[in-house]
């Protein structure tokens, strides 16, 4: 989708590049991420309303460090440098950056010196920000005024109001910076003078029109996983082209309890969408392929490969189609190395290659400009039920990686039932929006227990709940102990094969959100 106005983020390898773009979009302004290697002519052609330079792991004064031409700051476009971006701005424009005598990391008390500065309008003179730097700006570039400082950082922020250039040493995009949203809003909406017209209702309306125009009377095929992204895509396509869409839902038997039926209830014959819906119940086929396999990555590959085989069989029955739809979203694009500058985090199934087993002419990815929270908003606009739109994040291989060791039908039953109880009790306690993700996993540990007058030798369930901003880092959620006790009691009493329940306190890093 094209937008009348946008702000661009130039990525210098910072870990928060996606978060910066998300915060800009929260100001109702469209934003995209580009590598710092993007040519200046391309930036001119985009005519952005503003430019934001991200943080990064390098020292800007070292040979070979990421940099940009001085011309960027002479375009007449407002520029905001964050952390490394701030240091680079000073370095390129004639200031000085050195190794800091005292590094700053974490929440830091910061004093605003320029109360009339447009960037800090409405922000208290004394505020808390998130610092993370080894270098510091020891001398501002000509034409800049120091507008904020800390006890150890003489230049926490600098501004050249005449040229609308701003450098801030801290990270306004993270929630730890108390007034970070206001600071970014001041830049994006005030200094960049954007209208703030990027909204989900207009996105849905315009995208439906674009799909209709592109597809015409053609046929579209979509592999519907039942996850948030593919479900929102199915609803969007259904609104646009109706029966021209065929959704193939491969139920691999590794979904959460009742989810297969819930997906069919929304998109099947009794649902609200007039599409062609095909459900393939392939659980036994998957269990046979996974028999005896314990290594997590091997399980992932088997589950992925088997999905391709099943989908291929159904696609052959359907015959040639004009378009293959995929639920690619913006983080998939960025994390796969196709946007921004950060290292490739994952090879995603939706990007980087087209399946050769489906007879189609072109691929369409209507959600590829959206972040996950925006996808959810689009889902609500399209009339999808809240339980589907706000479904917990769920890995592609499903419970296959939440079962440590070999996957069997009995283990799937155990983890489905335990997870269902856990989610039920979290909801009953009114905590469903407290953790950003929570689930039950089945360990491969078995231990001796006593139930009634009998000795048992059963499995241990591991409960996981995390709080995070972007899932790149995460902390264990502090679920009230009485809630955990109730969950434990119900699981042990109601789920056959379990005699022990544990709670995972590991943060990310060193752990991951999933237990595999």
Hey, which residues are catalytic here? 83, 171, 173
What is the rounded CA–CA span in Å between residue 432 and residue 423? 8
**Taking the CB of residue 288, how many other CB atoms lie within 10 A of it?**
9
Dist CA 44 CA 24 (whole Å): 20
Q: Cβ(300)–Cβ(400) under 8 Å?
A: yes
Alpha-carbon torsion, ordered 303, 304, 305, 308, to 10 deg: 120
Contacts with 502 (C-beta within 8 Å, 6 or more apart), sequence order: 443, 460, 461, 462, 463
Query: Closest Cα to residue 204, out of 251, 168, 236, 162?
Result: 236
Q: For 282-371, where are the alpha helices, taking DSSP H only? A: 283-290, 296-318, 330-335
DSSP-derived secondary structure letter, 269: T
Q: Side by side, which strands form the sheet with 145-149?
A: 30-35, 6-11, 50-53, 79-82, 165-168, 157-160, 145-149, 96-112, 126-139
Name the DSSP letter for residue 141: P
* CA atoms of 460 and 440, how far apart (whole Å): 10
């Amino acid at each position: 989708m094209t937008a009348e106005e946008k702000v661009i983020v130039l990525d210098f390898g910072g870990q928060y590049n996606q978060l910066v773009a998300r915060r800009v979009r929260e100001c109702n302004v469209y934003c995209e991420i580009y590598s710092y290697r993007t040519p200046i002519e391309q930036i001119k052609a985009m005519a952005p309303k503003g430019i934001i330079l991200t943080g990064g792991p390098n020292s800007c004064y070292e040979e070979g460090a990421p940099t940009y031409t001085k011309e960027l700051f002479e375009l007449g476009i407002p520029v905001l440098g964050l952390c490394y971006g701030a240091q680079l701005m000073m370095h390129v424009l004639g200031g000085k950056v050195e190794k800091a005598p005292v590094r700053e990391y974490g929440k830091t008390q910061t004093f605003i010196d320029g109360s009339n500065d447009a960037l800090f309008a409405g922000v208290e003179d004394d505020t808390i920000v998130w610092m993370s730097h080894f270098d510091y700006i020891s001398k501002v570039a000509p034409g800049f005024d120091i507008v904020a400082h800390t006890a150890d950082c003489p230049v926490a922020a600098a501004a050249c109001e005449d040229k609308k250039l701003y450098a801030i040493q801290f990270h306004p995009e993270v929630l730890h910076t108390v007034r970070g949203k206001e600071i970014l809003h001041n830049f994006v909406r005030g200094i960049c003078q954007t209208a703030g017209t990027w909204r989900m209702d207009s996105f849905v309306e315009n995208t439906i029109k674009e799909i209709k125009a592109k597809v015409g009377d053609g046929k579209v095929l979509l592999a519907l996983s039942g996850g948030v992204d593919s479900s929102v895509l199915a609803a969007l396509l259904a609104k646009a082209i109706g029966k021209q869409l065929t959704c193939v839902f491969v139920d691999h038997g590794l979904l959460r309890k009742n989810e297969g039926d819930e997906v069919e209830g929304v998109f099947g014959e009794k649902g609200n969408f007039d599409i062609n819906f095909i459900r393939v119940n392939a659980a036994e086929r998957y269990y046979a392929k996974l028999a005896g396999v314990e290594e997590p990555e091997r399980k992932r590959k088997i589950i992925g490969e088997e999905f391709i085989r099943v989908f291929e069989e159904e696609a052959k029955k359907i015959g040639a189609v004009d378009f293959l739809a995929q639920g690619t979203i913006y983080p998939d694009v960025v994390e796969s190395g196709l946007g921004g500058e950060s290292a490739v985090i994952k090879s995603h199934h939706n990007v980087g290659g087209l399946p050769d087993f489906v007879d189609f002419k072109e691929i369409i990815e209507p959600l590829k400009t959206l972040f996950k929270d925006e996808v959810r908003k689009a889902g609500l606009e399209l009339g999808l039920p809240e339980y589907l739109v706000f479904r917990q994040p769920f890995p592609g291989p499903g419970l296959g990686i939440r079962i440590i060791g070999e996957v069997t039908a009995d283990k799937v039953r155990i983890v489905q039932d335990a997870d269902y109880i856990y989610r039920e009790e979290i909801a009953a306690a009114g905590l469903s929006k407290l953790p950003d993700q929570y689930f039950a996993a089945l360990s491969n540990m078995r231990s001796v227990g006593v139930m009634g007058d009998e000795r048992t030798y059963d499995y241990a369930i591991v409960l996981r709940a995390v709080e995070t901003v972007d899932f790149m880092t995460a902390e264990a959620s502090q679920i009230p102990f009485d809630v955990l006790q109730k969950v434990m009691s119900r699981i042990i009493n109601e789920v056959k094969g379990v005699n022990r329940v544990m709670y995972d306190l590991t943060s990310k890093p060193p752990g991951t959100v999933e237990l595999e």
